[in-house]
Amino acid sequence: MEFAGKKVLILGGGVTGSAVAKIIEEVGAKVRVADEKPLPDFVSHPINDLTNLDYDFAIVSPGWKPSHPLVQALLKANVKLTNEIDLAWHFKGIHCPDQKWIAITGTNGKTTTTELTAAMLNAAGFSANACGNVGTTVIESVFSDKKFEVLVLELSSFQIHWMSEPEFAAVAILNIADDHTDWHGSFEEYTKAKVKLLEHTDIGIINGQDQHLVKSASAWSGRKIYFGLETPAQGQLGLVEELLIDRAFVVDPNEAGAIAELSDVQPTVPHAVANTLAAAGLARAIGADLESINVAIKGFKPGRHRIELALEKDGIRWINDSKATNPHAAQASLFSATSSIWIAGGLAKGADFQELIEKCKKRIKFALLIGTDRELIAKELEKHKIEFYRIDGENVMESAVKKAKELAEAGDTVLMAPACASMDQFKNYSDRGDQFIAAVKKFA
């Protein structure tokens, strides 16, 4: 890929598109950007112009569907399509050929696991950076003056769908549950996008307790290292009583290495423990020692909006888990408490809520429903005779918190884990979480 003097169209002017545009322009390309809101620093291409496509390359941002009319028109015009991850891999080969890449995907837990893996590697003396869907873009990390030895990529199903070039030292797939079927068309296609990541590595760290994932990855012939919350067999990562154990990267396969004590993982909830095992597996694959990994686990604090304690008062815990943007993530949150006043709803993204409510029905004391697709949740709650209230008003989060305060008693958890995306009523999940915390401080 040579860009000097080339005409390049970038599809999408968000975080990824902006970063790519600046770098491609710096290496001599003539850049245009197609977006609903054109970037002020770049010449725009009308998003609905499907005929004037005289470009050498088009770079597709992750959220663009393959079925988008402009994507289809570019393919028909024989314009070469690429993407940020492949582009970053190309420049890595030029500027930092010895840099190692590892990658993490899954329906839930990607960001925390990516950040924890980078922390483990840095504690072990590697220069590592978390990037992709967290922190900086991958292409910016490749061009960083810090010259990172390892990039830890958080990858969405969209990014994996579009990419084809990278080779990873190791990858981890944390879990697969129903999500983004509105983009992929079906759960089967969403699964294929996730499992495709294994084709780009020889070492796969795989959740052995996710039977759908295990079955989906069965045809892949690389080295499978399973992790889970059970006693690990040889070549696996798991739990033995109160210890997280490595039986995959030890010298003697009959021995085991202690990664950490269970209490070192905060919060000590099942999905956090599983994700810590996955992160440790990736760090060990790069060469991190167990002692450094343990130090990183003890010092690690998850990012905001992930089972974040907003307040504990009068025996009631107020928890912000705005990052729970699908049913699978909300299920993990609901299983972290025994009696919840549950604030839920938003944009469902094609998800189904039947399994979530079926599994968590005994833990939901009341539900407070917000957002565009709340009736999908209401329908499932009605089946199980779980009492719920629809929350409306100009400031919906304040109204929800006020109602939760009326309902909550000592021993309850007020849990804002919406199981949906946020953009119908909030800027993003961070804004939703911030509004919840502000309302809790104001009224609780």
Whole-number pLDDT of residue 36:
86
pLDDT over threshold 80, residue 38: no
pLDDT in tens, 348-385: 988 899 999 999 999 999 999 999 999 999 999 999 99
Distance (Å, rounded) from C-alpha 135 to C-alpha 3?
26
Q: 50: pLDDT confidence band, cut at 50, 70 and 90?
A: very high
Using only the alpha carbons of the chain, give its radius of gyration: 23
What sign does the CA torsion over 13, 18, 22, 24 have? negative
Whole-number pLDDT of residue 92:
97
pLDDT over threshold 90, residue 37: no
Question: Which of 40-44, 340-344, 390-394 ranks highest by mean pLDDT?
Answer: 340-344
Q: Give the mean model confidence (pLDDT) for residues 249-270.
A: 91
Distance (Å, rounded) from C-alpha 53 to C-alpha 58?
10
Q: 179: pLDDT confidence band, cut at 50, 70 and 90?
A: low
Higher-confidence residue: 420 or 181? 420
pLDDT over threshold 70, residue 181: no
Decide: 247 and 253 in contact? Cβ < 8 Å: yes
| Residues 6 or more apart in contact with residue 363 via CB below 8 angstroms | 334, 335, 337, 338, 339, 340
Q: Lowest mean pLDDT of 55-64, 172-181, 239-248, name the range.
A: 172-181
Percent of the chain residues past pLDDT 90, beyond the cut: 81
Whole-number pLDDT of residue 184:
65
pLDDT over threshold 70, residue 183: no
Q: Lowest mean pLDDT of 30-44, 212-226, 231-245, name the range.
A: 30-44
pLDDT over threshold 80, residue 284: yes
Average pLDDT, rounded, for the chain: 93
Whole-number pLDDT of residue 180:
61
Question: Which alpha helices (DSSP H) does 335-443 contain, by range?
Answer: 354-360, 374-383, 396-407, 429-443
Q: Quick one: which of 352, 348, 351, 397 has its CA closest to 370?
A: 397
Q: Quick one: which of 350, 282, 273, 345 has its CA closest to 307?
A: 273
- 85 phi and psi, to 5 degrees? -65, -45
Distance (Å, rounded) from C-alpha 385 to C-alpha 361?
9
Higher-confidence residue: 172 or 427? 172
Q: 177: pLDDT confidence band, cut at 50, 70 and 90?
A: confident
- 388 phi and psi, to 5 degrees? -145, 160
Q: Quick one: which of 278, 350, 320 has its CA closest to 108?
A: 278
Whole-number pLDDT of residue 154:
96
Q: Quick one: which of 268, 88, 102, 65 has its CA closest to 197?
A: 102
SS3 at position 395: coil
User: Tell me, what DSSP letter sits at residue 388?
Assistant: E
pLDDT over threshold 90, residue 9: yes
Element housing 290 (H / E): helix 290-299
Q: 332: pLDDT confidence band, cut at 50, 70 and 90?
A: confident
Decide: 4 and 27 in contact? Cβ < 8 Å: yes
User: Tell me, what DSSP letter sits at residue 71?
Assistant: H
Q: Give the mean model confidence (pLDDT) for residues 46-72.
A: 93
- 171 phi and psi, to 5 degrees? -135, 160
Decide: 259 and 295 in contact? Cβ < 8 Å: no
Q: Give the mean model confidence (pLDDT) for residues 143-153.
A: 96
pLDDT over threshold 90, residue 133: no
Distance (Å, rounded) from C-alpha 238 to C-alpha 152?
22
pLDDT in tens, 184-226: 668 888 899 899 999 999 999 999 999 999 999 999 999 999 9
Render 84-123 in DSSP notation, one character per residue.
HHHHHHHHHHHH-TT-EEEEEE-SSSHHHHHHHHHHHHHH
Q: 126: pLDDT confidence band, cut at 50, 70 and 90?
A: very high
The tokens for 428 are 């993003």
Q: Which amino acid is at 217?
A: A
Q: Give the mean model confidence (pLDDT) for residues 143-166.
A: 94
Decide: 324 and 416 in contact? Cβ < 8 Å: no
Whole-number pLDDT of residue 262:
95
